[in-house]
Amino acid sequence: MIASCGISLTVNGEHVEALVPPRLNLADFLREHLHLTGTHVGCEHGVCGACTIRLNGDIVRGCLILAVQASGAVVETIEGLSDSGEIADLQAAFRERNALQCGYCTPGMLVTAQDLLRQCPAPDRERIREHLSGNYCRCTGYEAIVDAVEVTARARLEPAR
């Protein structure tokens, strides 16, 4: 087996140094080494979107990136986005609309939805559906999720009172 490599990165604002096997993917690194189990693993081949995280500001599939590739990067996971309050309104909208059932897709779904809202502050339903199409949900049928994202977008556009 190839010897482990040292990596150094920022995860949810914390500086992390670790020795990892080169074959370890980023999702497994987050889950198994940092115990950030909010990043879920659904398919391990880049299709389902459950492991979606933010890497240097862009969303990526944690299962398609090696941990060694993330050395020097800034990684944000659902735990970080929750604690910073960045997506608190989106989470509240999901809660009100019951936009999750089993919750397994939800961290990835929230990260992806927030990515859309940062790129496109006023998406229509079709745009929302298109952007979320890389994140599978088997429980909700998606409509509640689309509703929650739409409501959040509208609320963010309203001038602060």
Length of the chain as a residue count: 161
> Please, are residues 76 and 67 in contact by the beta-carbon 8 Å criterion?
no
Residue 37 binds to other proteins (criterion: CB under 8 A): yes
Residue 113 binds to other proteins (criterion: CB under 8 A): no
Residue 34 burial class via C-beta count within 10 angstroms: exposed 0-12, middle 13-18, buried 19 and up: middle
Residue 89 binds to other proteins (criterion: CB under 8 A): no
Q: Give CA angle at 65 (22, 77), nearest 5°.
A: 115
Residue 23 binds to other proteins (criterion: CB under 8 A): yes
From 41, 71, 86, 115, residue interacting with other proteins (rule: CB under 8 A): 41
Under rule CB under 8 A, how many of the chain's residues touch other proteins?
56
| Of 9 and 12, CB closest to other proteins | 12
* Separation between Cα atoms, residue 33 and residue 52, nearest integer Å: 17
Kindly state the smallest distance separating residue 6's Cβ from other proteins, in Å: 19
3 state DSSP class of 58: strand
Q: Which residues of this chain interact with other proteins, rule CB under 8 A? A: 1, 21, 23-24, 31, 36-45, 47-48, 50, 77-79, 82, 91, 94-98, 100-107, 110, 125, 128-130, 132-146
